[in-house]
Chain A
């Protein structure tokens, strides 16, 4: 076996892949060969490191040097300087948003972004080569399966999960152990375990990152689940839009089969278990468990009423235990380290950690895993580095289209399932999108509703028609055509949809509107009554004006205007024709005298 003196870890997550990490890997191989370092330096493509904002990310061990935004042309320098001569390339080293320092000696775990994190579900992401089962094994991989199969009864496994307090990470927060127990208790000739990898919340990508960075963790957990509930077959339902995840998962399943970790008579214990991948076409509603199972069965992906619950009648009418990717990612660790270890983290009713996808108006966009109970403020300011460009924080949206927007006053809320619901939002799958003063909250609500209108399956009337009508009302409001009574109409529709929709997605669809109405009602009223967008965001409600007292008649604005909306003669004040103005804002940027304002 080759022993390398240095490992170059290049992030192969979707974020970094789309910013060109595949080219980086090629270039590293090239340059390493040119310098005859092939026997000394190994290039490893890993899963997501989480700090996607800094991508493509390259880490060089054993030094732990963290290079960010590496371009193909930088590779030569890294190879000849760092790998050949041992001199770190300072100017490519990641700049810590919190401390403003660019310190090549800083290790990953010392960077502010990582300091507050506690990585359980993401423990191997960015550390191991996800396409090499040996590396997973080296990180105690499949030891939990071994322990469960050889030292624990099925009841003991379920009990361990129950006692750990693990709750579903897909959004609902249902106690995972109970789900296992109910499915275990169902009598049937065949049962199934299934994994929900149909991640669809806008901005959320933790499941993808886990599948890309640590696919064996899911396979191991599903095998443990299969043993516990008495299932010999599992299905992973993953979106076809996640090609890297699908590829790595397929490779991992093949490798696990080769090693006898899937298949017949695992560890010679008589336990049979195998896995199949099912590709989803990307419908958001297929994340709903009944819809997901219908989709696996080859039917139209639509929810059906519960009861019967999947634990009683699921896939192909057999008892089925469905968990989300991140939930599974915790399972092996709980079995290995014990329920008490896990339950020691988090809050009273929400144990362990939760992965959040930070996005929107925040410096460190990316993936973070924090202990439950971490205040929103810590996540947004310490880990996320706050809003860029010194803008003022306005709200944070959690829980995707089913969640809500929480204002500044709730930032000290410790994040857990129950606190977020009490605050008017929800955990969801862990999307966390930050809005600053430039975001119009009516428009934000409209964005989420637009998503729901697009993704509604169309089965039940309140979701199919009601969300469409809500969206139409919001369209009117942001266009300045809002009427008295619109807010009441929105509330009546929201209440009806919430109370009567067929599935959880429908029930929660009005939440973005309800939560913005609760915390930012004044913005709605300003749009409707004063035809004004307080965030200066809604174009239809904006008006650009030139202050004749300040205008020097330099003509710069008239020359930059793409619509010829500005007229005036040299050295005389100019005027904007509102009927021609496109509200692009170019004139305001161009004016050196601060004569142009917008309201």
Chain B
């Protein structure tokens, strides 16, 4: 039994476990305290002072960092506090560029929302000098605009605490404080893994993805180009949020229709690529197990994780699966198999991937991911960018009928859908590897041990009388912890899945942004993942090797998994990276 304490917040008595912050206690009491820098489970540093409350102490205290105490009497909403909060917001505005009309986060901005809620009338009440920063847009994935930054430091926490990357932090001090990479370097000069978790937690428009929608519109408008699009598994679980649908609504059919209406020549599915990945990856795992290859084998679908491994854990490069990620596999197949079938010069094909991920933008530009001087994937846009394009195209998304993906690379199994959630790749691979290794049909395809949002999950799976230890890590911080235990010899696994983002792709750096208030109430990762697991359960086929189009493509073009053609098109290699470039 936890040690419970009781306190009164704005006259409401509440009982909470010891160690609860006053902010969380207030939430339990149904009292909403405004916050700006706070984000549950990520950042409680008492920097913005919006959540100050009166406990009778000499100065007001920030509720986010104030532990609730027994018999505490808290006032959150006095005339003085309201006045201070308004003044604080006016001060924040005085140092903010206030270009709301053209801001990517307009209407989805926590600062804007607070100003409306707290009745700020004059954005220029304390007009004064502002720091002027050059926008850092050199990274292929992330744009940092410090002119909008309010120094909440959530991005710093996401980068350093969650991802254990820590390439940005506060520099200078006082009014000149800014969140920067050290020594005035650009984000791209640092060992940033491009995961975009910083973007997802930014309350304002200081961080956003590098916008590639113009390139897509240009390709679509070019009659000489054959534009092929493919959305990733996790996109369908979150895209609806951009159109006001409840979190966890799956919009696969509407998305396919929307993509067709936007004018893409072919709408394939990265889910198909996921099934293809499983064919190759399960085969690679079986090979490594049977032939004494390097184990544990570690998945390679997450480009943020790959860059993290290459930079921070290069010792584990031999452990990485040589499989390209699903959308790269699709890209490679489109520019070879599909091009040949359709009689189109692959040079005229533009492959567009819609990804929940900002690191995919970086991945697509890797020189090794291509063939004959052509990149496998030409343009990557995020879920957010797709939503903007759909809006720009004037498509009434919510009214769309469900459509289908185009055949040849449009079919997928339940195993592919769950790629978007942490543990999904592991589960999909186990479904296929089990049957390959044992030759038996897997009766129950649900591997519950690898599902869920915990950072590290472990399971032991009995395959043909042999126990196989597997582990799943989501977030590079958790991956680091897991790899450290492997390195130290404390753990012994055969197969490890790593996703760079906490919760996997459903919570990727390119997904719709969920504000701090919502995150305090809802587990984004679990809610979106549920949509994928539901889709998996409803699929007639749930193992990758049962996918009809996959069977056909091997029979027609690739031969066997791990064949020479497959290696040529579907596998890649990795290189050790330095932490800093000069």
A: residues with CB less than 8 A from B are: 283, 285, 300, 302, 304-305, 307, 453-462, 464-469, 472, 489, 492-493, 495-496, 498-502, 507
Contacts and interface: CB of A to CB of B under 8 A. Distances in A.
A496 B88 contact: yes
A462 B83 CA distance: 13
Contacts of B84: 495-496, 499-500
A459 B169 contact: no
A154 to B, nearest CB: 29
A31 B95 CA distance: 63
A309 to B, nearest CB: 12
A458 B59 contact: no
B173 A469 contact: no
B301 interface: no
26 contacts: A305-B45, A305-B65, A453-B174, A454-B174, A455-B174, A456-B173, A457-B173, A459-B45, A459-B47, A460-B47, A460-B49, A461-B49, A461-B92, A464-B174, A464-B177, A465-B94, A465-B126, A466-B91, A469-B91, A469-B94, A469-B126, A496-B83, A499-B52, A499-B60, A501-B49, A502-B47
B470 to A, nearest CB: 35
A499 B59 contact: yes
Contacts of A453: 174-175
B510 to A, nearest CB: 30
Given A464-B177, A472-B128, 15 more contacts: A300-B169, A454-B174, A457-B177, A460-B49, A464-B175, A466-B91, A467-B175, A468-B175, A469-B94, A469-B128, A472-B129, A492-B83, A498-B59, A499-B84, A502-B47
Given A305-B62, A472-B129, A465 B45 contact: no
Interface string B289-302: 00000000000000
Given A453-B175, A458-B174, A465 B91 contact: yes
B48 A461 contact: yes
A456 B45 contact: no
Contacts of B492: none
Interface string B169-194: 11011111100000000000000000
A474 to B, nearest CB: 12
A464 to B, nearest CB: 6
B62 A502 contact: yes
Contacts of B80: 499
A493 B126 CA distance: 9
A500 B47 contact: no
A305 B126 contact: no
Given A305-B62, A468-B175, A502-B62, A461 B126 contact: no
B174 A456 contact: yes
Contacts of B108: none
B6 interface: no
B49 A283 contact: no
B91 A462 contact: yes
B66 interface: yes
B87 interface: yes
Interface of B: 45-49, 52, 59-62, 65-67, 80, 83-84, 87-88, 91-92, 94-95, 126, 128-129, 150-151, 169-170, 172-177
Contacts of A499: 52, 59-60, 80, 84
A215 B46 CA distance: 38
Contacts of A459: 45, 47, 151, 170, 177
Contacts of A456: 173-175
Contact of A305 (B61, B88, B128, B129): B61
A304, A456, A464, A472 — which one has the most chain B CB atoms within 10 A of its CB?
A: A464
A305 B64 CA distance: 10
Contact of B128 (A304, A457, A468, A495): A468
Given A453-B174, A464-B151, A500 B60 contact: yes
B169 A465 contact: no
A37 B377 CA distance: 91
Nearest to A305: B65
B206 to A, nearest CB: 15
Please provide the 9 A-B residue pairs with the shortest distance between their CB atoms, ordered closest to farther.
A458-B177, A456-B174, A305-B65, A465-B91, A496-B87, A468-B175, A500-B49, A469-B126, A472-B128
B203 to A, nearest CB: 13
A168 to B, nearest CB: 16
Contacts of B174: 453-458, 464, 467-468
Contact of A465 (B52, B95, B172): B95
A304 B65 CA distance: 9
B151 A462 contact: no
A273 to B, nearest CB: 32
Contacts of A454: 174
Contacts of B87: 466, 492-493, 496
A304 B45 contact: yes
A458 B92 contact: no
Contacts of A489: 126
Contacts of A496: 83-84, 87-88, 91
Contact of B176 (A285, A458, A462): A458
Contact of B66 (A305, A461, A493): A305
A302 B45 CA distance: 11
A307, A456, A465 — which one has the most chain B CB atoms within 10 A of its CB?
A: A465
Given A465-B91, A469-B126, A493-B87, A460 B48 contact: yes
A460 B170 contact: no
B95, B169, B175 — which one has the most chain A CB atoms within 10 A of its CB?
A: B175
Contacts of A466: 87, 91
Given A460-B48, A465-B95, A300 B170 contact: yes
Contacts of A500: 49, 52, 59-60, 84, 88
B46 A458 contact: no
Nearest to A472: B128
A374 to B, nearest CB: 27
A454 B175 CA distance: 8
Contacts of B65: 304-305
Nearest to A459: B47
A460 B46 contact: yes
B212 to A, nearest CB: 34
A465 B170 CA distance: 15
Given A454-B174, A496-B87, A461 B47 contact: yes
A85 B61 CA distance: 70
A458 B173 contact: yes
Nearest to B80: A499
A302, A495, A499 — which one has the most chain B CB atoms within 10 A of its CB?
A: A499
A307 B177 CA distance: 25
A304 to B, nearest CB: 7
Contacts of B91: 461-462, 465-466, 469, 493, 496
Contacts of B170: 300, 302, 458-459
A495 B86 CA distance: 13
A202 to B, nearest CB: 16
Contacts of A465: 91-92, 94-95, 126, 175
A469 B177 CA distance: 15
B62 A462 contact: no
Contacts of A305: 45-46, 61-62, 65-66
A426 to B, nearest CB: 13
A163 B213 CA distance: 73
Contacts of B59: 498-501, 507
B45, B59, B169, B170 — which one has the most chain A CB atoms within 10 A of its CB?
A: B59
Contacts of A492: 83, 87
A510 B151 CA distance: 22
Contacts of B88: 461-462, 496, 500
B49, B52, B92 — which one has the most chain A CB atoms within 10 A of its CB?
A: B49
A305 B59 CA distance: 12
Contacts of A507: 59
A599 to B, nearest CB: 31
Contacts of B45: 304-305, 459
A458 B175 contact: yes
B151 A458 contact: yes
B67 to A, nearest CB: 6
